[in-house]
Amino acid sequence: MSAEAGRIASAFEAARGATGLIPYLTAGYPSLDATLVMMQRLERAGARAIEIGIPFSDPIADGQEIQRASEWAMRAGVGADETLDVVARFRRGGRLPVVVMTYANPILRRGVESFASDARAAGVDGVLVSDLPPDEIPEAWRAFDAAGLDTIVLVAPTTTPARTVRLLERCRGFVYCLARTGVTGRSGGEAGSLPERIAELRRQTTLPIAVGFGISNPTEASRLKGVADAIVVGAAFMRAVAEHPGQGAAERVERLAADLIAALA
């Protein structure tokens, strides 16, 4: 494995024992230039990695904040190509690991081998395909592996033990443990005992564990300090942008990131 391919692993290894922040941004919201600036600000704030979403018309795992951000970006013509381009622009100086979050349709429409190789060339470190199980479209998983992309998988409170084993076999980089069922940015849903689920995952894998869905402020973040290796926060950052998309978005995003990171320190 090359040094580039190990960027996610290196980031977690360098901060072993500390809980980090993985912010989510929708590419192109409010603009591609603003996305780039926000990525740079998040690196400056001390994020562990960045998750960047390809705008999609039917983001079934995402709540209204990210859906609206996707609609905004798609109206401006932002898709997979533009998302990879902004990652490439970030890579000219940025060293933070970048995970692209998407759905199967944009990848299949573009061609899985083309998407994987172009993502790697742009400087993407990992991919999270929310609606692609590990036993479907095997050519996609082969393409990700061939390109040296880490494949992040989602483990939910309702995932059965047998299914968890299969997901962990497919997982690379880190495990994305859902704090609850449902969509991003909303409360409720089945949660179960999160510390117990994380402890069980640790018995089954040596990969870092990031927790997402339902974490939006420093108080909620602090509850996972020392429990998870990272938290993933998305809807809260999109709400920060939505306060005034045309003015001060990068500053608000950086300020929220700093507050969350301070709560995890």
Query: Which pLDDT value is given to residue 191?
Result: 59
Question: What are the φ and ψ backbone dihedral angles of 230, each rounded to 5 degrees?
Answer: -160, 160
Query: Which pLDDT value is given to residue 221?
Result: 96
Residue 61 pLDDT level (bands cut at 50, 70, 90) = low
Q: For residues 209 and 174, is the Cβ–Cβ distance under 8 A?
A: yes
Q: For residues 52 and 87, is the Cβ–Cβ distance under 8 A?
A: yes
pLDDT in tens, 109-157: 999 999 999 999 999 999 999 999 999 999 999 999 999 999 999 999 9
Give the DSSP letter of residue 175.
E
The pTM score is 0.93
pLDDT in tens, 62-104: 678 899 999 999 999 999 999 999 999 999 999 999 999 999 9
Rounded distance between C-alpha atoms, residue 154 and residue 20, angstroms: 18
* E strand intervals along 158-235: 175-178, 209-212, 230-233
Radius of gyration over every alpha carbon of the chain, rounded to an integer in angstroms: 17
% of the chain residues with pLDDT over 70: 92
Active site residues: 51, 62
Mean pLDDT calculated for residue range 199-219: 95
Domains defined along the chain, listed by start: 18-264 (3.20.20.70)
Mean pLDDT calculated for residue range 35-43: 98
pLDDT in tens, 196-208: 999 999 999 999 9
Query: Which pLDDT value is given to residue 190?
Result: 44
Q: Exposed, middle or buried by CB within 10 Å (0-12, 13-18, 19+), for 170?
A: middle
Residue 17 pLDDT level (bands cut at 50, 70, 90) = very high
